[in-house]
Amino acid sequence: MAWRNTSERYGIVAKSFHWILFLLIAGLIGFGLYMTSQTFTPEIFTLYKWHKTIGVLVLALVVARVVWRFVSPPPPLPANTPPLERWAAHLTHLLIYVAIIVIPVSGWLMSSAAPFPNLILGNIQLPALIGQDEAASKFFSAVHYWAGRALMALLVLHVGAALLHHFIRRDQILVRMLPGSFSRKA
């Protein structure tokens, strides 16, 4: 299987980015919802450190993924894709990229502006992006919350579309993003 994307399918690098980020982002959503539903104890504080550590890692991976997307553009959609669907697929992907950049950046800004230490695993202090400011921290907390909710909605559409292609349309769209080099007749 090729490292780069071909005109037919995604390559190893794009697939690895997709599925590693899927696991990390799904974990972050789970961690995020759980930790904010609990009273604040030292154990929950450790979960915050995990959340921030993985969150910053996700930000770095997303930047690398976007750079790679310019180096190796994704395979085009099948030629018979109706214009509205083509547009919907591109818009959903674009909004997902925006969300997975805005969410970690707003998390980092919120935590920088909050009036307590902004620690990741190993009790390492994350460099502050802005100074302490309660109003700014509240604002970025709201951005983090709403962009997170928007991402969850986009992912419902995204996964729904992938399953529709695979089980109803029975085309190559899901298969070309799966690990390995399977193929099915269109």
Whether the CB-CB separation of 95 and 154 falls below 8 Å is answered with yes
Which member of 13, 15, 28, 61 binds ligand HEM (CB under 6 A)? Answer: 28
CA distance 94 to 89: 9
Give me the least distance between CB of 74 and ligand HEM, in Å please: 3
Whether the CB-CB separation of 52 and 24 falls below 8 Å is answered with no
Only one of the segments 38-46, 78-86, 127-135, 170-178 lies at the binding site for ligand HEM (rule: CB under 6 A); that segment is 170-178
x-or-dash pattern for ligand HEM, window 75-94, by CB under 6 A? Answer: --x-----------x---x-
Only one of the segments 24-32, 38-46, 80-88, 128-136 lies at the binding site for ligand HEM (rule: CB under 6 A); that segment is 24-32
Which member of 26, 63, 64, 153 binds ligand HEM (CB under 6 A)? Answer: 26
CA distance 159 to 156: 5
The dihedral built from the CA positions of residue 45, 51, 54 and 58, taken in this order, carries a sign that is: negative
CA distance 159 to 170: 15
Tokens of 104: 């970690």
Whether the CB-CB separation of 10 and 72 falls below 8 Å is answered with no
* Interface residue list for ligand HEM (CB under 6 A): 18, 21-22, 25-26, 28-29, 32-33, 36, 48, 51-52, 55-56, 58, 69, 74, 77, 89, 93, 96-97, 100, 103-104, 107-108, 110-111, 126, 141, 144-145, 148, 155, 158-159, 162-163, 173-174, 176-177
